[in-house]
Amino acid sequence: MYYCCGITEKGTMKHNEDSLLLDGTVIREGTVSRTVHEPFITAVSDGVSGEVSGETASRMCLEKTGDIRYSGSVNITDELMRIHLEMREYSEKNPEYNNMQTTLCGLAVDEEQNIISFNIGDSRLYRLRNGVLEQLTRDQSLVQLLYEEGTITFEEKKNHVHRNIIFPVMGSMKSNPQIDELRIDSIKGGDLLMLCTDGLSDYVEHDEIESILNSPQSPESRLELLVKRAIECGSNDNITAIIVVYSE
């Protein structure tokens, strides 16, 4: 079984366009924690279309993801593409939600404890192992592409004029998203996995996230501290994160 806790806050924004999924429940504001048994899916979602449509996109995406009856025989990429097409169809039939979009980053754990991560957009999955924090997902963004091409430096990524441009995500009317799927080693004793939206990762430095996650405080306290630091560091976005640890 696994212990999971999550937090989603509007931060300095008027609306919270983020949502989180934990054990079949979608949370739009506040904190949640519980022990879950495999199989399960947990994820974060960051609406990118603005106000009502962004809120609706993130909520709908996670509600549909939470309805997946996941097991080792389920192709998670096929299921997520189906959800994307359903969201697109909803937008076409409801003009007020035209082209609503959202990122999606999550974990799917099957009955044999095999773990798959999935990512669409620039929300992230990290793993803390032996005290060292590693980003496991790749940002699907223009600045990440420019960095990989060598056009800009790592430091230039942070303040680049196009840092908010991401590739097609869930619900996009222009084209289908690229669903990045990664098989992860089973969680080892002492490992910690963290999903988060860019309201956290764009503002709190990697080393500071690592330091906070290594602190002896409870997982819930660590999440609250990360949210506080993101706001102190100037985050002008919603902030959402989930911590997952294996519990025998």
Average pLDDT of the chain to the nearest whole number: 91
Average pLDDT over residues 108-127: 96
Per-domain residue ranges for the chain?
2-135+169-246
pLDDT value at residue 247 = 77
What is the C-alpha to C-alpha distance for residues 50 and 12, in angstroms, rounded to an integer?
Answer: 15
pLDDT value at residue 174 = 86
> What's the whole-model pTM score?
0.94
Q: What are the beta bridge partners of residue 25? A: 22
**pLDDT level of residue 150 (50, 70, 90 thresholds):** low
Which has the higher per-residue pLDDT, 68 or 148?
68
pLDDT tens-digit profile of 169-210? Answer: 999 988 999 999 999 977 888 899 999 999 999 899 999 999
**pLDDT level of residue 5 (50, 70, 90 thresholds):** very high
Q: Is 28 helix (H, G, I), strand (E, B) or coil?
A: coil
**pLDDT level of residue 48 (50, 70, 90 thresholds):** confident
**Position 164: which residue type?**
N
**pLDDT level of residue 7 (50, 70, 90 thresholds):** very high
Average pLDDT over residues 41-70: 91
| Of the options 3.40.640.10, 3.40.190.10, 3.10.350.10, 3.60.40.10, the CATH number for the domain spanning 2-135+169-246 | 3.60.40.10
Tell me which residue of 160, 175, 53, 40 sits closest to 102, measured CA to CA. 53
**pLDDT level of residue 98 (50, 70, 90 thresholds):** confident
- Does the pLDDT value for residue 240 go beyond 50? yes
Q: Tell me which H or E stretch contains 64.
A: helix 51-66
- Does the pLDDT value for residue 145 go beyond 90? no
Length of the chain: 248
